[in-house]
Structure 1
Amino acid sequence: MLRKPFFSIVTPTLNEEKYFPLLLEDLSKQTFTDFEVIHIDANSEDLTIKKAQVWRRKINLKTEKVKIRNVAFQRNLGAKKARGQWVIFMDADNRLPTYFLQGLRYRIDKNPEIGVFTTWIQVENDVPLSKTIENAINLGYEAYSLVGKDGAMGALIGAKKEVVENVKFREKAKIFEDSFFVQDANKLGYKFEIFRDPKYFFSLRRLKKEGGLKMFNIIAKAQIDYIILGKSFETNNHGYVMKGGGYYDEEKHSPLKNLQKFIEKASKEQLDKAKKILRDLQEQFE
């Protein structure tokens, strides 16, 4: 019988060919090596699975492809297949320092009473106010606890195997399925802890894609519904898109972008017609 690893790392993916291999590379460099990786792919249309298989020679990696594109379903399935003493749910775009898993093992050994945890984050300094964003997220964890709403981002949640056998991610929730998981575990008596170290690198690609103002509005509305109104989020995602890695590669639509695409694809006849329209407009304003 195979010996059970200490950690089972469960990562759901959807079109993550750019990011997931980077996480796997980080995992291959960990100083703590007693872990397995359970990769649940939601029928990606890119090379996510093919690129992941390259790392099977270096780490204990198992991949399963499913048709259902639902991150909560993927996490639940991964947890069911996990053999480790602890299950670490980890997003495909996370990056890890080499000592990350070693640090988690140390914290778990020092806090044997906990059943669920998350950690503080770090962000790269490639966006304006990156340190402010990092502090806001980390202190936000603490604020949740102060108002009796323990929560965590699905980017990194750890739980004992016993916990995931009794608590599931809510597959009908469009957002906050991660924080609901923590709350449901709390209700069953499992203690939740926020480790301030070790930290992992949290991707700000959503902020870069959406823009700061739009993200602020999305998060603010969602937080009010979550903290004050206690909504279930089964019908409304407040614009928080969950489309996998390919979403971040989509170009934003604008009149200039549309014009550029038209010019690139237009035939000579179409361009001649467009020039005539522009000349006619110019004459009307002269």
Structure 2
Amino acid sequence: MFFSIIIPLYNRPQEINELLTTLCKQTYTQFEVLVIEDGSVNDAKNIVAAYNDKLDIKYFYKENSGQGFSRNFGFERAQGDYFIIFDSDILVPSNYLEIVKNYLYEHKLDAFGGPDAAHESFTPIQKAISYAMTSPFTTGGIRGNKKHIGQFHPRSFNMGISREVYEKVGGFILTRLGEDIEYSIRIHENGFKIGLIPEAKVYHKRRTSFKQFYKQLHFFGRARINIYKHFPSELKLVHFFPAVFTLGLLFTIVCNLFCPPLAYICNFFVLLYFLLIFFHAWQVNKSIKIAFLSVIASFIQLTAYGLGFMQDLVKRVIFKMS
């Protein structure tokens, strides 16, 4: 089984260096790497060239078109039986390809995804963000989980498709705003089998500051409405949770200003919720500091997603603006 690893890259040379270092350590070595530089000003050509004698690697530079279409560029040039998509901000465990290969031989999948986790080298903020994006007490709990709700949709930071899928379904038709979910839905509609490989995790660095994390999650909230515009049936009740949470916080603030008796009740439930997150994050990461930061990260995750979701719900669904 031969894999083609496709990595879109935009102005992140240091990230690709760290990612390629981990790919050099893979225990299963039947793979090629295609790095697609998407119109970067700060390109990684020289960094990638340093791996020519360590990996079967190819570097391409193209005009900027976004991550979805950059992956298509890689698909067109890939030689593998399976195409694996990685984001540039991940680290890959040394047995990742071994796990995927063995799983695919035992359980025939046409497309797959795996979970993400925090690496021990990550900063406390990165570990807190990782917690928020994987916690059972946030919407992160429905991603990369065996008990996910409805059809599993692989995410593009850790996603694989067979060559047969690409030849029949084609590539991405969106370049951003939920492009991976839209692609997964089309794969499913074409009768292909999609599954989660629970042990095929990657270490996802995500954003390095809460400001960057807010922008990313606000974008994710908007992306959910973009998916709804293409596939209305894919909008589930769980996707409204961040918006309901955000409105609940606003209601709590109003109650504290104008209705103190009701504010006591609201404050109790808000405090209880964040205490659950704090103690669970403490248990997971064995750090009070990371637990405290996890509360902040969870707050940002839910409110940023909720505000982005409501923004495009009002704009694109209620008022039908483009």
The two structures share one fold, judged by TM-score above 0.5 = yes
Moved beyond 6 Å, runs of 4+ = none
- Matched with 2:297 is none
- Matched with 2:111 is 116
Structure 2 Cα separation of the partners of residues 68 and 226 of structure 1: 23
- The 8 Å contact of residues 39 and 63 in structure 1, kept in 2 or not, is answered as yes
- The 8 Å contact of residues 169 and 177 in structure 1, kept in 2 or not, is answered as no
SS in 2 for 1:9: strand
- Is structure 2 residue 78 aligned with structure 1 residue 82? yes
Q: How many residues align?
A: 224
Structure 2 Cα separation of the partners of residues 189 and 60 of structure 1: 33
Q: CA deviation at 1:173?
A: 4.8
- The 8 Å contact of residues 121 and 138 in structure 1, kept in 2 or not, is answered as no
- Of 201, 205, 210, the match for 2:203: 201
TM-score, with length taken from structure 2 = 0.63
Which is helix-richer, 1 or 2?
2
| Residues 131 and 45 of structure 1: CA distance in aligned 2, closer, same or farther (over 3 Å) | same
| Residues 169 and 207 of structure 1: CA distance in aligned 2, closer, same or farther (over 3 Å) | farther
Structure 1 Cα separation of the partners of residues 43 and 96 of structure 2: 27
Structure 2 Cα separation of the partners of residues 99 and 151 of structure 1: 23
Gaps of at least 5 residues in structure 2 are 233-322
Gaps of at least 5 residues in structure 1 are 232-286
- Of 9, 15, 27, the match for 1:31: 27
Q: Identity of aligned pairs, percent?
A: 21
Q: Residue type matched to 1:133 in 2?
A: M
SS in 1 for 2:91: coil
Compute the RMSD of aligned alpha carbons. 2.6
- The 8 Å contact of residues 173 and 183 in structure 2, kept in 1 or not, is answered as no
- Matched with 1:19 is 15
| Residues 165 and 145 of structure 1: CA distance in aligned 2, closer, same or farther (over 3 Å) | farther
- Matched with 2:250 is none
Structure 2 Cα separation of the partners of residues 75 and 216 of structure 1: 22
- Matched with 2:69 is 73
SS in 1 for 2:198: strand
- The 8 Å contact of residues 11 and 91 in structure 1, kept in 2 or not, is answered as yes
| Residues 215 and 56 of structure 1: CA distance in aligned 2, closer, same or farther (over 3 Å) | closer
Q: CA deviation at 1:170?
A: 3.2
- Matched with 2:102 is 106
- Matched with 1:95 is 91
| Residues 223 and 15 of structure 1: CA distance in aligned 2, closer, same or farther (over 3 Å) | same
| Residues 216 and 67 of structure 1: CA distance in aligned 2, closer, same or farther (over 3 Å) | closer
Q: Residue type matched to 2:231 in 1?
A: G
Q: Residue type matched to 1:101 in 2?
A: L
Q: CA deviation at 1:47?
A: 3.8
Deviates more, 1:184-193 or 1:164-173: 164-173
Q: CA deviation at 1:146?
A: 3.1
- Matched with 2:251 is none
SS in 1 for 2:6: strand
Structure 1 Cα separation of the partners of residues 63 and 204 of structure 2: 27
Structure 1 Cα separation of the partners of residues 223 and 58 of structure 2: 35
Q: CA deviation at 1:171?
A: 3.8
- The 8 Å contact of residues 66 and 175 in structure 2, kept in 1 or not, is answered as no
| Residues 142 and 122 of structure 1: CA distance in aligned 2, closer, same or farther (over 3 Å) | closer
Q: CA deviation at 1:80?
A: 1.3
| Residues 73 and 216 of structure 1: CA distance in aligned 2, closer, same or farther (over 3 Å) | closer
- Matched with 1:52 is 48
Structure 2 Cα separation of the partners of residues 44 and 36 of structure 1: 22
- Matched with 1:134 is 134
- Matched with 1:146 is 149
- The 8 Å contact of residues 9 and 89 in structure 1, kept in 2 or not, is answered as yes
